Chains A and B, each alone.
Chain A
């Protein structure tokens, strides 16, 4: 059962009416209730089968400078935006190398050609791409930095901003003349689920 405390729109209104009703009952108890008939009423709520809805980038492009440093898009643009009436979070990030690129922990060390290291994630919670290349991906289910509040939440946490950084080394692929968005180095599969992170 999915339980949420944050709602908006019509559903919030319905909940609000329900809570008001409960409060007014408590404020003015009938004589019968006041005389020893005590008990608790659980007020519960859960999501209906409304869709989980969010917006995510299908592409994260980098530019390699002459010294091998990567420049990525700005974090204000590279976001995952929650468009749902309840909180969601990123539970996993799985990365696979493409086109003979090697995703390594540190591109500057080692000898492999077309080596790349990069990190992606919210500020202060950047995740190492190399760690996410394992079969099971990188478990983020316990990481609060990947939580997103309901759409329109006042403090702006209905989105996560993705920062990027990284390096390439010993590049033999022609990244100068590649058309479109560039030479694909990796595929990133985000797994998103309703609710916040597990403690």
Chain B
């Protein structure tokens, strides 16, 4: 009894130390797991190439077609970008609800980026953006699909040639 009483503080200290070690190991495992999860490579694809062994031509075709179908994106912008009061430009960029990707867009004139948007989630519309120094005439709106998790660029961008114009009275 007395022996147990004497060893009890030591046992408690040992258990505490063991607990701390276990906690540290658990934290380390979680950290490693999180790192592995976060550092999982995200495919940045445009035109891509891979190899396929042991598959028939049709099987390969079906897989490639499935990739294309999964990566189709609808683009919707105003073909005439109207200059508006308050230094705004009406671009009406719609990332339609059916799309699988968030988008980012740039307004380009004479190879210079006039405006670059933030992330436009699916189902959202950016009706106007700052006009900056844009002039009447030809310009481009470039739409870039983004990875839904990382917001990194995904696949090929698409440009739409638009006309910058003064508003009609």
A-side residues, CB < 8 A to B, are 2, 47, 49, 51-64, 70-74, 77-78, 83, 91-92, 95, 98, 116, 118, 120, 129, 168, 175-176, 178-194
Report the bound CA distance from A185 to B43 in whole Å: 12
Q: Are A58 and B49 in contact (CB under 8 A)?
A: no
Q: A192 to B159, Cβ gap below 8 A? A: yes
User: Known: A62-B48, A187-B47, A190-B159. Is A180-B41 also a contact (CB below 8 A)?
Assistant: yes
Chain A to chain B contacts (Cβ below 8 Å), 11 pairs: A47-B79, A51-B79, A57-B155, A64-B50, A71-B57, A77-B65, A176-B53, A178-B50, A185-B49, A189-B157, A193-B79
User: How far apart sit A58 and B44, CA to CA, in the bound complex (Å)?
Assistant: 11
Residue of A nearest to B160 (CB): A192
Chain A residues closer than 8 Å to B57, beta-carbon distance: 71
Q: For B73, what are the chain A residues with a Cβ–Cβ distance below 8 Å?
A: 55-58
The minimal Cβ–Cβ distance linking A178 to chain B, given in whole angstroms, is: 6
Which residues of A have CB within 8 Å of B60?
Answer: 63, 71
**Contact between A55 and B49, CB atoms less than 8 A apart:** no
Name B49's contact: one of A51, A179, A183, A187 (CB within 8 Å): A183
- Contact between A192 and B64 (Cβ–Cβ < 8 Å)? no
Would you call B10 an interface residue if the criterion is a C-beta within 8 Å of the partner chain's C-beta atoms? Answer: no
Main secondary structure of the interface of A (DSSP, over half): strand
Known: A52-B160, A55-B72, A193-B161. A184 touches B154 (CB 8 A): no
Chain B residues within CB distance 8 Å of chain A = 41-53, 57, 60-61, 63-65, 67-69, 71-80, 82, 90, 92, 94, 101, 140, 142, 145, 154-162
Cα(A121)–Cα(B2), bound, Å: 90
Query: Given A2-B80, A57-B155, A178-B50, 11 other A-B contacts at CB below 8 A?
Result: A53-B76, A56-B156, A57-B71, A58-B72, A63-B49, A63-B60, A64-B49, A71-B57, A175-B49, A179-B43, A183-B49
Query: Which residue of the partner chain A has the closest CB to B154?
Result: A58
**Inter-subunit contact A175/B64 (CB<8 Å):** no
CB-defined contacts of B94 to chain A, threshold 8 Å: 51, 53
Given A60-B68, A71-B61, A192-B160, verify A55-B48 contact (CB < 8 Å): no
Residues of B within 8 Å of A192, CB to CB, are 75, 158-161
Are A60 and B72 closer than 8 Å at their CB atoms?
Answer: no
Distance between A93 CB and nearest chain B CB, rounded to angstroms: 10
Given A59-B71, A181-B50, are A191 and B76 neighbors across the interface (CB < 8 Å)? Answer: no
- Give the shortest distance, in Å, between B135 (CB) and chain A (any CB): 18
Contact A116–B159 (Cβ < 8 Å)? no
Knowing A70-B49, A71-B57, A175-B50, say if A2 contacts B155 (CB, 8 Å): no
Q: Which residues of A contact B162 (CB under 8 A)?
A: 193
Known: A57-B71, A61-B67. A189 touches B48 (CB 8 A): no
